[in-house]
Amino acid sequence: MRLIDENGEQLGIMDQIEAKNLADERGLDLVELAATAKPPTCKLMDYGKFKYEQKKKSHGQRKGAPRRKEIKLRPKTEEHDFTVKLDQARRFLTKGHKVLVTLVFRGRETVHLDLGKGVLVRFAKALEDVAKVEKEPSREARNKMGMILTGK
């Protein structure tokens, strides 16, 4: 097998036992990189450290992706609470997140779906300067209605 050391330098072609002994001497792992190559290529490395760095790198890439935030309302949400939720949604949208606005019905409120839809439409109209409606208000469950807003 062709052997590459931890610094990326080629050590040449040697048999598996020699390569394994060399890895044990240096306190490293023998990792096969290309099994189908002629001869197979292996590298001396600290495999645990390599896996840790790969995980750390992939985690760093996911960090910038937009996330979906949720704001919950009720059909009888008072005006001040409504404006607080609007400001919260505006802050999420300016940071690049999507906002799922969920309207929760309780008890007999489920009969008045039109009132709930009106609250969601009013919410979307108040944010139309920074957001557009990705998913129109629709009933999600027996006691829930929702819509999704995205930044412009």
Q: What's 23's domain CATH number?
A: 3.10.20.80
Do residues 21 and 32 lie in contact, with contact meaning Cβ atoms separated by under 8 Å?
A: no
Please name every residue paired with 41 in a beta bridge, in sequence order, or none if there are none.
2, 34
Cα–Cα dist 31/4, whole Å: 10
Do residues 29 and 23 lie in contact, with contact meaning Cβ atoms separated by under 8 Å?
A: yes
> DSSP per residue over 23-48, as a string?
HHHHT-EEEEEESSSSS-EEEEE-HH
pLDDT in tens, 29-84: 999 988 888 889 999 999 999 999 988 888 776 666 678 999 999 999 999 999 99
Domain total in the chain: 2
Cα–Cα dist 72/79, whole Å: 14
Residue 43's domain comprises: 2-62
Radius of gyration of the chain (CA): 28
Predicted TM-score (pTM) of the model is 0.58
Q: 48-53, long-range: CB within 8 Å, 24+ apart, which pairs? A: none
Same domain, 72 and 58: no
Same domain, 41 and 7: yes
Percent of the chain topping pLDDT 70: 96
Do residues 81 and 123 lie in contact, with contact meaning Cβ atoms separated by under 8 Å?
A: no
Do residues 98 and 68 lie in contact, with contact meaning Cβ atoms separated by under 8 Å?
A: yes
Q: Which one of 39, 62, 85 terminates a domain?
A: 62
Cα–Cα dist 146/119, whole Å: 11
With bands split at pLDDT 50, 70 and 90, how would you rate the model's confidence at 28? very high
Nearest C-alpha neighbor of 28 from the set 42, 6, 15, 45 = 45
Same domain, 103 and 73: yes
* pLDDT at residue number 137: 92
pLDDT in tens, 97-136: 999 999 999 999 888 889 999 999 999 999 999 999 999 9
